[in-house]
Amino acid sequence: MTILKNSKALYINGEWMSTDQLEAVLNPATEAVLGEAPVGTAAHVEAAISAAHEAFHKGPWPRLQQRERQAKMTEFLDAIERRAPEIVQLIVAEAGATQMLAQYLQYGIPMQHARHMVEISSRPAITPLPVETTPNAEGSITLGAGVLAREPAGVVSAITPYNFPFFLNVGKIVPAMVVGCTVILKPSPFTPFEALILGEIAEEVGLPKGVLNIVTGGIEVGTALTTDPRIDLVSFTGSDKVGAMIQAQGAPTLKRVLLELGGKSAMIVRPDANIMAAAQNGLMGFTVHCGQGCALLTRHVVHNSIRAEYVAAVKGMLAHVKVGDPSDASVGMGPLIREVARKRTEDYVQIALDQGATLVSGGKRPAGLDKGFFHEPTLFDNVHNSHRIAQEEVFGPIGVVIGYDTDEEAIDIANDSDFGLSGAVFSADVGRAYEIALQLRTGGVAINGGGGKMSSHAPFGGIKRSGYGREYGIEGLNEFTNIKTISFKGG
């Protein structure tokens, strides 16, 4: 495939900045080298921070009328759409996503979100406060009023992972930029091209210098983006362990930090549930993108009266999941991102067996796939919620089934987790499912499969070790703003 025109340079201050440090980027399905990507250094990140800081404090972008920013961001998204086939092909090759996943969830949904963010950014930035009267020292009455004014938060560092790179790149930079922030985007070293292509598009549409900067690199670059006092806000998606480090790194400068972290989300299947619908949802909960999704439903909390039937249904469906190179449109599950991820999955298979779980299906590398970082979709039954496989995020294609006898027990099991990102309830009694959903300590719950897609109106995020802050919807847009109160006297 054709790699980007500027695939060996970094996009900083509206220009392409070269580097002598290059790193091979692999296709995780074939282990072939897609191309060499630039590796940013301390000098690159300093240039990017300086450019973003100058663009925010001195440049035109934050001072434009909102309709002007909307027009430019619409132009930016239109330019992305013109390169959609190329981007989808890149998602398949670089992230290992299947064709359907790349087209629909990895590309289509974030573009819907982005369009929605641009549209709703026209919401009033000034909100009137109630008018109040107060007796004053002169013996008359003061008429007091005020407004809440929303303004851009400042310079944003956006740090994204390898699992949904285009989705998260667009999901962070668009709302930040459309409200007037300037951004430094740092992608995962495994998936840099899905970020760098956005630099080409920014150049094409003529975004003002310094509004969007893209810097790759390792720990040195990441640390600068979470500690430098010129950074006002850090938006990070990744593991809870790295999220905790970022929170600590931002603490000395009292940065605002938005964290969308890991998950070990529970799907409760009540005895009156449609078992086939629940099983289909459960199957997707650990096979979508080879289990590399923070919000995936990997704990299946199933009523004991139907547990055997549920396990048999999921096992039967697993037999039809084709694992292989996602360049083949018939493939239903692609590879893990790298060997370290596959080794982690294999380790957890052994941990589950050692702790007494029953292997229902999978558990090993698929036969006949000698190249690529593949692992069979794997299901365990007879899992106790205290088992490591039920408590720790694998980020691989492993689902676990945990039995229960009462609704209260199911709720307790679901809530007995360090994480709280998503969840689900399957039941014919939708009212009871809703009552259960209200009791789950998590950022979101889908009843009987939810609304059919990830809504652009709905805020997304978690609690506990799944992080804090929200993305998407009006709440996600406002995360990139500060509130200023202005008071004045009437008359």
378: three-class secondary structure by DSSP: strand
Question: What is the DSSP code string of 102-168?
Answer: IIIIIIIHHHHHHHHHHHHTTS-SEEEPPPEEEE-TTSSEEEEEEEEEEEE--EEEEE--SSSHHHH
CATH code at 9-261+468-490: 3.40.605.10
Angle at 485 between CA 480 and CA 490, to 5 degrees: 145
Active site includes 409? no
As a 3-state breakdown, the chain gives helix, strand, coil percent values, each rounded to 5, of 40, 25, 35
Listed in sequence order, the DSSP H helices in 288-406 are 307-318, 339-354, 388-391
Angle at 260 between CA 259 and CA 264, to 5 degrees: 130
- The domains of the chain are located at 9-261+468-490, 265-456
Decide if 182 contacts 207 (C-beta within 8 A).
no
CATH code at 265-456: 3.40.309.10
Residues 440-455 as b or e (16 or more Cβ within 10 Å = b): bebbbbbbbeeeeebb
* Catalytic member of 94, 260, 393, 471: 260
Q: How many helices, marked H, and strands, marked E, lie in the chain?
A: 16, 23
pLDDT tens, per residue, the chain with 491 residues:
666 776 789 999 999 999 999 999 999 999 999 999 999 999 999 999 999 999 999 999 999 999 999 999 999 999 999 999 999 999 999 999 999 999 999 999 999 999 999 999 999 989 999 999 999 988 999 999 999 999 999 999 999 999 999 999 999 999 999 999 999 999 999 999 999 999 999 999 999 999 999 999 999 999 999 999 999 999 999 999 999 999 999 999 999 999 999 999 999 999 999 999 999 999 999 999 999 999 999 999 999 999 999 999 999 999 999 999 999 999 999 999 999 999 999 999 999 999 999 999 999 999 999 999 999 999 999 999 999 999 999 999 999 999 999 999 999 999 999 999 999 999 999 999 999 999 999 999 999 999 988 999 999 999 999 999 999 999 999 999 999 999 999 86
**9-261+468-490 and 265-456 share one CATH topology?**
no
Listed in sequence order, the DSSP H helices in 328-470 are 339-354, 388-391, 407-415, 430-439
CA dist 64 → 171, 179, 181, 212, 484 (Å): 22, 10, 11, 16, 18
